[in-house]
Structure 1
Amino acid sequence: MSLLSGASSQLGRTYSRVEAGLTKPYLYVPPRKLSTTLRFLDPSDSPDLLDYRKIARLFETSWKHQHKQLPRIKKIFAVSLPDHLNKSYDEYKGFLEARWNGVNEQLMFHGTTRGCSLGEEEQDITLCEEMTCSLCCILRTSFLVSMAGSARRGCNRFGSGIYTSSASSTADHYAIAPWLSDDKAIIVAKVALGKSSIHYRASENLTAPPWGYDSVIGKVGIDLNDDDQVVYRNEAIRPAYIVIYERPNSPSVTTVPRPAPKATRSNMTTKTKSSTSSRCTIM
């Protein structure tokens, strides 16, 4: 080999090293989250302590009905939603931010029917497939305006919308536990209220907030005994936490455990159904 060819070869190797150094690093893209999962908040674990205290304090200080004894909180779970539900909620908040220069996001309570033993044990975090378990239906698809009124709560005071309350004791009225279970469950939802129209009388024919508003707030007075926060768009509300608590003013009873789920692909993965699922018929 000549001296010149050796130099050329050496230069070639040097150039290759420089090129290698300029190559863009591999960009890791995390897989999409397709299903709802629950995470037990351990009050003895420092990473969970702040979240646990925040939700526990909100639940306790929002218990307004003095004729009902404040119940003992047994467990709190954080709700992690699939990517498409987080995206649509964030996009709606962006719309409100651009419209009003603010979102008016609040944590509110929603009571519903629980047809299984979800949350009664720390490890019991698999959503059931029962059509009548509104809790698991809401966790799987989030809240649906199309299901408004199907829970037969009596009068929908502000028409077909998604109802929450700032009082945990009001939501407790609608929280139905499984037969013989001593544990009730309430959803703590994050709600993007935007600009709210305040009402002191019921308006049962509403299908949307009044023009220029994003939500309706019912205040106690005239013909309203409890407060309501009502939104009329699916993307305006998302479940954020689940509070499991003792049934108020009731003696302890033996909990009937939920049968073990069948080993189907759906149960193994707790896969999120389409937000238009017809299985969730009661909310």
Structure 2
Amino acid sequence: MATFGYTRTCFQCNERKNDFYNDSILCMDCFRGYPLCLECGLNERNKPHPWCADCYQQFRHEQPAVVTVKEEYVPPTLLTRVTDGSNSFREVLKLFVDRWDRRKSQCPEIIAAYTITNDYVRSRYTQYKDQLQANGKDPNEMVHFHGTVLVCDLLSSGVECNNLKCGVCGISQEGFDENRIGHNIPRFQRFGRGLYLAPNSSKCHDYTQGSYNVRAMLVCKVALGRSYNLTGNQSNLTGPPNGYDSVYGQNSPNGVLNYDEVVVYCSEAVLPTHVIVYQRDGIGKIAM
């Protein structure tokens, strides 16, 4: 139920709106995509209803049908810092270092790594892979990198921010969103309007912007399905060619790419798993 009234700021998108769900703190656009129960804020809601199954059973006898989001609710932290020197940290560090092309430059120093725990994004990614298999296709899951903008002081806060210009925190909270392609870092879309990732960390570094003297990069799982290989530009693409699920841009002697890169055209195909925070400008030696 939309409530139209005075213009105010939405809790989720930080935009000024006048149509809010049942006079709550969520605008209607954010309510439709909000993943959690509006009462407990913990369990996944049973869309299109505002509650999870547990809260529905509890409140249908005790409360009126209308339940609003509580102002004091704070979403659960999605980022957890990986302990320096742990096996998990060494694995992430090794991935970043091994996939940095030292022919271009030395690999910068990793300062911190964070795991991303987002059940909503993981669920839609799992469903996407299951659908590929149901269609008789190998999900062809790969681990690639994605460069984006870091606006906040993540190292100090340790939690994701709500700044819409911070690509690292936005993707951690909501997953990838086709509607925000190019909003933070405009780029030439060699294979059309899609979500671009690459196997080389050094490639994705070119698409990072940092703050507080560091940059950040996302590690992601991506379900490529059946990939269509290209070596030349096809910027008019709006999706993969018929019968394919992704585009794989290949570096070749006669091609236009310096690095391989992959493109998927739906957000469900990508699962961000880690944030790597690294030295922004100077070059440092990494102890393996």
Q: Give your verdict on TM over 0.5.
A: yes
RCO greater where, 1 or 2, for CA within 8 Å and sep 6 or more? 1
Q: Deviations over 1:14-56 (max 9, x none)?
A: xxxxxxxxxxxxxxxxx52665511111144xxxx33222211
CA change 1:35–1:217 in 2 (3 A) is: farther
Pairwise CA distance, 1:217: 0.7
* 2:175 maps to which of 137, 142, 151: 142
Q: Which of these residues, 94, 99, 102, is aligned with residue 135 of structure 2?
A: 99
Q: Displacement, 1:127?
A: 1.7
Question: 1:70: how far off?
Answer: 0.9
- 1:227 and 1:246 map into 2 onto residues whose CA distance is 24
Deviation per residue, 1:188-240 (Å, 9 max, x gap): 01111111111000110111101111110101132222221110011000210
Tell me the TM-score normalized by structure 2: 0.68
2: CA distance, partners of 1:111 / 1:65: 18
Q: Which has the higher helix share?
A: 1
Q: Aligned pair 1:41/2:82, yes or no?
A: yes
Render the CA deviation track for 1:160-210: whole Å, top value 9, x for unaligned: 1000110000111111111xx321110001111111111000110111101
Distance 1:152 1:112 in 2: 7
Closer, same or farther in 2 for the Cα pair 1:219/1:36, shift >3 Å?
farther
**What residue is the counterpart of 2:93 in the other structure?**
56
TM-superposed CA distance for 1:106, in Å, is: 1.1
Counterparts of 1:108-257 in structure 2 under 5 Å? 108-118=144-154, 120-121=155-156, 124-178=157-211, 181-221=212-252, 222-249=255-282
Deviation, 1:152, is 4.3
- TM-align CA RMSD: 1.9
Give SS of 1:163's match: strand
- Number of residues of Structure 1 aligned to a counterpart in Structure 2: 211
Please tell me whether the aligned partners of residues 197 and 217 of structure 1 are also in contact (alpha carbons under 8 angstroms).
yes
Amino acid at match of 2:114: F
- Alpha-carbon separation, structure 2, partners of 1:234 and 1:154: 18
* Maintained 8 Å contact 1:97/1:103: yes
Matched-pair contact (CA < 8 Å) for 1:158–1:230? yes
CA distance in 1, matches of 2:260, 2:267: 20
Amino acid at match of 2:223: A
Determine helix, strand or coil for the equivalent of 2:165: coil
Would the alpha carbon gap of residues 35 and 99 (structure 1) be closer, same or farther in structure 2, given more than 3 Å must change?
A: farther
What do the CA deviations read for 1:46-74 (whole angstroms, capped 9, x no partner)? xxx33222211110000015232111111
8 A contact 1:77–1:241 mirrored in 2: yes
**1:107-144 superposed Cα distances (whole Å, 9 cap, x missing partner):** 110111111111x24xx222212222121111111111
Partner of 2:116: 79
CA offsets 1:231-261 (integer angstroms, 9 cap, x no match): 001100021001111125359xxxxxxxxxx
- In 2, Cα distance between equivalents of 1:153 and 1:165: 17
Normalized against structure 1, the TM-score is what? Answer: 0.70
Once residues 174 and 65 of structure 1 are traced to their aligned partners in structure 2, the CA distance between those partners, rounded to angstroms, is 17
1:147 is aligned with what amino acid?
Answer: R
